[in-house]
Amino acid sequence: MREILADQIIDHIKDMCIEANCHVSQDILQAIKEKKEVEASPIGKNILEQIEENAYIAKNSMMPMCQDTGMAVVFCEVGQDVHVTGAPLTEAINEGVRRGYEEGFLRKSVVKDPFFRENTKDNTPAIIHYDIVPGDQIKLTLAPKGFGSENMSKIAMLKPADGMAGAKKAIIDIVEQAGANACPPMIVGVGIGGTFEKAAFLAKKALLRPVGQQSAVPYVKEMEQELLDDINCLGIGPGGLGGFTTALAVFIETYPTHIAGLPVAVNISCHATRHCSRIL
C-alpha cells in the first residue's frame, strides 16, 4: 500500500487553485486567437481581442482572469492501493482550497446555506467527485466554476422517442437561452444517458477536455461537430453582442441508460473555463 501525505495533497490543491485561476490554458487561448481572425462581427472581434489581452494581463500580474474565481470543483481519482496519511483526504482537499483562495487573493464566493447566505470566507467546501481506480496513484483535477455560466446550465429528461434529433434541439435551445449571460464564447459540456444526476455529472466532466480534443466515439464526435456548427449559427457571438463565435467547443459524454429515459444535461461554461490536473 503506497502512502501519500495529506500535506502533499494540501500543497498541490493550493497551487492548482492559483494556477487555474490566473492562467488561461493554451488550448483556449489558441482557439480565441483563431476565432479572432475569422469573426465577422466587428464588435465580436473587439471582444475577442479584449479576452486575449485580459489573458496576458492576468498571467503577467498573476491576477485572476475573472473576478469570479468560482466554486472549487475537484475530480479525484484515487488508486485503490493508496493510503492517505495525516488527515482524511476530503479534509486535505478542503484545506488546500482554503489556502489557495487565501494566498492567491482569489474571491471567496461560497455561502454556508442556500437561503441564509453567510459567506464561509474561505471558499470551502469544495465540490468533490471521487472515483476509485486501479493503481497506487492519486490524480487530482481542479476546475473552479464561475456561476455566470453555471446558472445557465440545465437538464432535460427526454423520451427515448425524442432520439438524437430531440437531444440536439434540447442542447441548442439551452445554449440559446443562456445567450449573453454565460459569457460567450462558451464551452458546452453535455452529458447524455445514465440517470438524472449521472447526466449532470457527465456534463461537468465533459468540460475538462481540452479544446480541439474530440470524442473517440465516431457518432459522438460527429454530433459534437454538428452541434458546434449549429450553435455558432445562433448569432449570439462573443459577449452575446453578435457574431459567429458563440462556442469554442461542444464536448459530449455518454453513458448507458434506462429503457424509459433519455437524460440530456448541459453544463455551460464561459471562455474562462479553468482546469488543471496533477498526478501524485
Residues lying near other proteins in the complex (CB under 8 A): 40-41, 43, 46-47, 50-51, 53-54, 57-58, 61, 63-69, 105-109, 117, 119, 121, 148, 151, 165-166, 168-169, 172, 176, 179-181, 183, 230, 233-237, 239-244, 270-272
For residue 182, the minimal CB distance to other proteins (Å) is: 8
- What is the separation of C-alpha 22 from the centre of its chain, rounded to a whole number of angstroms? 15
Cα-based distances in Å from 239 to 41, 45, 50, 148, 203: 11, 10, 11, 12, 22
Residues sharing a CB contact under 8 Å with residue 23, sequence separation 6 or more, in sequence order:
58, 59, 65
- Minimum CB distance to other proteins smaller for 4 or for 272: 272
Q: Judge whether 136 and 81 are in contact, CB under 8 Å.
A: yes
- Minimum CB distance to other proteins smaller for 5 or for 43: 43
- Minimum CB distance to other proteins smaller for 77 or for 230: 230
Residues sharing a CB contact under 8 Å with residue 65, sequence separation 6 or more, in sequence order:
21, 22, 23, 24, 54, 55, 58, 272, 274
For residue 77, the minimal CB distance to other proteins (Å) is: 29
66/21 Cα distance (integer angstroms): 8
- Minimum CB distance to other proteins smaller for 59 or for 129: 59
- Minimum CB distance to other proteins smaller for 9 or for 227: 227
For residue 208, the minimal CB distance to other proteins (Å) is: 19
> Which region, left, alpha or beta, applies to residue 261 given φ > 0 means left and ψ of -120 to 50 means alpha?
beta
CA-angle at 260, arms to 256 and 265, nearest 5°: 60
